[in-house]
Amino acid sequence: MKIAVVAPSCTLKAEAAEQVSALAASRADCELVIHPQCFLSDGHFAGSDGERLSALREVMADESVDAIWFARGGYGSNRIAEAALADISVPGMRKVYLGYSDAGFLLAGLHKAGCEVAHGPMPQDVLREGGEAAVVRSLDWLLSRDRSGVEPSLTYPAQAYNLTVLSSLLGTAVEPDLAGYELLVEEVSEHHYRIDRLMFHITGSANVRNVVELRLGNCSDIPANEPVWGSDEEAIVRDWCQRAGINYGGRAAIGHDAGNRVVPFGRNPRRGPL
């Protein structure tokens, strides 16, 4: 299987690329190609919008590529998502796409278009403590659909997003259709009051209210609140789910950490026979 790595958000660190390449090289079944665009730098981003879009389009159109693995998160994939999806080709429809965090903007649009997508660890995650196991989880799933690294409590067709990314998707051209899905959310580096505001926003959405259930992943590196917030992120999520009539399904093993599991998105019913 040939896996192409591109960076629609921020620049991939060279040491992450080296370590993940070594992991892939040790496997007989894996050809990993890290696109040189991953190492570009233009202000906040891994190259200009044009450069990031061009690299993504190139690997999407490449018939020899089986899977596209997003290099890392950060910020910026939303700036090219609509354009990348406007003219999606048959080869682009035939691949599987994997990432999380900021890459959720692309996962949402690709899933909506009918592609196979999954939330899961990305190459840059190898630099976390315990990050090799995280990255291997994604590789195992990509290479053989091995489910040992899949989030263990999935019950319904699922979708998984960073909470801020999901909030930013609502109402846009790449908003996912969530009706009938199990929705998993996670967050990083946001205050409790911001998590509360995000939950107000997403649970106010008619689309989100159509999920079968909502489950909460890890919320890591929460900055201290002044004054003290007084409850925790699970209480916040329970509260807003209750207000909105959404079934709260408990915790989920996803997040910005080495324990982050793979969540294959449930098949979009509009997905064709490609």
Chain contacts with its own copies (rule: CB under 8 A): 41-44, 75-76, 78-79, 164, 167-173, 192-193, 196-198, 200-201, 204-207, 225, 227-231
> Taking the mean position of all CA atoms in its chain, how far away is CA 211?
18
- In this structure, how many other beta carbons lie within 10 angstroms of the beta carbon of residue 90? 10
Q: Which amino acid is at 7?
A: A
The smaller minimum CB distance to its own copies, of residues 138 and 164, is found at 164
Least Cβ distance, residue 163 to its own copies (angstroms)? 12
β pairing state of 2-6 and 248-251: unpaired
Least Cβ distance, residue 31 to its own copies (angstroms)? 32
Burial (CB count <10 Å: 0-12, 13-18, 19+), residue 228? exposed
Is 185 strand, coil or helix? strand
The smaller minimum CB distance to its own copies, of residues 2 and 79, is found at 79
| Helices and strands (DSSP H and E) totals, the chain | 9, 10
Least Cβ distance, residue 86 to its own copies (angstroms)? 13
Element (DSSP H or E) covering residue 68: strand 67-70
Least Cβ distance, residue 8 to its own copies (angstroms)? 14
Q: Which of 204, 237, 198, 186 lies closest to 73, judged by CA?
A: 186
The smaller minimum CB distance to its own copies, of residues 41 and 89, is found at 41
The smaller minimum CB distance to its own copies, of residues 105 and 141, is found at 105
The smaller minimum CB distance to its own copies, of residues 2 and 209, is found at 209
Least Cβ distance, residue 189 to its own copies (angstroms)? 11
- Partners of 162 in beta bridges: 186
